[in-house]
Amino acid sequence: MEYELETPLKDEDISKLKAGDTVYLTGKIYTARDSAHKRIIEEGAPMDLEGVVLFHAGPIIKEDENGEYKIVAVGPTTSMRMNPYEPEVLNRGVKAIIGKGGMDDNTQKALVDNNAAFLTAVGGCAALYVSSINKIDSVNWLDLGMPEAIWELDVERFGPLIVTMDSKNNNLYKR
């Protein structure tokens, strides 16, 4: 099946997804890599995580002469790097993770326990994904560096994303 979902995601959005489905997202998504995940656990998130979609990505951003940020490219980074942090972050209300390469059994259990999903973004499609981004709404924790900061992205029909780990314990990486 193919779904077009609006963020923030709700339980009923996630419950209908099955491994193998295709998803397109409209609304807000947030980039977050290792350092951001660690800080979310240690200090709390700079935004409400309820229904949020986190994108494991280190975007390439440029700042123009007016001090406004423009996104140049954004593609998924290897998600297994977030394994030590992801279950705790999911416990805080995150409903979907976008990344590549899958995640471990602890994260799979947290996806099931929290009715959440892992969506795979295709590596090498950074230009395609950036074309779905309307604008950068905000940035948090820029002190971590541009790729590690949390970038709030306003997206329209962001995808295609493949449901690879669903809330029913199905995992395409294990098939």
Give the residue numbers marked as catalytic: 37
User: Residue 126 CA to chain centroid, in angstroms?
Assistant: 14
Our separate counts of H helices and E strands in the chain read: 5, 9
HSE value, Cβ hemisphere, 13 Å, CA-based, for 138 = 7
Whether 139 and 69 have beta carbons less than 8 Å apart is answered as yes
Whether 57 and 74 have beta carbons less than 8 Å apart is answered as yes
User: Residue 65 CA to chain centroid, in angstroms?
Assistant: 29
C-alpha 86/C-alpha 39 separation (Å) is 12
List all residues 6 or more positions away from 136 whose beta carbon is below 8 Å from its beta carbon. Answer: 61, 69, 70, 71, 151, 152, 153, 154
C-alpha 52/C-alpha 94 separation (Å) is 5
